[in-house]
Structure 1
């Protein structure tokens, strides 16, 4: 039966999933996960693709992407083919690595963006990789910990210019009066000549749905995620 053509237009929000062949592990250890994310970060920046949420599970991954001018098919081909080759060399294996093509679902922007971010980031809790929300806050293999400011954003390409970006940095601070009361300068002033990495801007786009300051936005975002646990949402 012929494959159905994918809807692959610039700017579409898409939930992307891929599994290992026969549901085998595609991430055996942290070195594999870091290798995947380093490759992914470079591809995102080069193709100007936004990733709003991601989760690495031992035998599959979830991504919530909005493409730029580069089609999703090319983004995913670079990511999956490159990672499969690296994994096979490292673990001395051969043959097919992923189960068929990746699966992608086009998502409606307004109603489902935040729901999908929550759904994807709760995956490690659903499959018992973490035991509770507190542990998820510090879990490195989803985008949740970066949104919470608990860990470095692993989707930012390591460069000298980006090393100064911390969990407290970003677009919020230079423009908020509360940060300059008493003639105090913001703790992390922005350099107007330094372009913010797309992965950092994407996190700020997410937080702006929840509040005007990071402290408030993160508290509300976390409560939103917690509500998802209490609603008993189940993994597909």
Structure 2
């Protein structure tokens, strides 16, 4: 990876992960979409562990409020089972078929959130289903934001609580991912160099970008997240 590409990647990540630290999702999806023209998508997904961990850590450290560990623990428990299933599906099931099914589910939930904001009611079994599905999606595609945020929007009334629980969920899932990368020697010298040079810039930028979350009112937060979920589902259907 040339120095010019590392600079470009860093600048793109500053913008896309500023969006994620404000709204709690979509930073990686946008970054990979933009940068895959210049850098292999698999390399970008591996590299994304750095900004995702920075977003989650900084967002949680710099935001007041407490986490509901019962809710978070339940989400992570079922998501872990789902992630194991997702890894199994990765090797033994058609990813294309599952992608269509997942895209359809994301689109339906996104459309409902756009049309009827604040009216999505989750039964206990539907919560468990979404938790498991987010884990399956994470294991198979490395993406769980749209499903996890759908579940959290219907669970908490406060935008900061929604975002904080999303960040804690993504922090845990990405730590599992990093451990897997380390055990399998996935971090190449090229990726390590990109992380080394971009980490200080991203850390400082995201540290100050976190305050933008508090500038967004409740209605706009939910509206933007709903539209991002819907757009993500449609984009998956079209690809």
* TM-score normalised by the chain length of structure 1: 0.29
Q: Which has the higher strand share?
A: 1
Q: Which has the higher helix share?
A: 2
* TM-score normalised by the chain length of structure 2: 0.29
Larger radius of gyration: 1
- Give the structure, 1 or 2, with the largest relative contact order (CA under 8 Å, sep 6 or more): 2
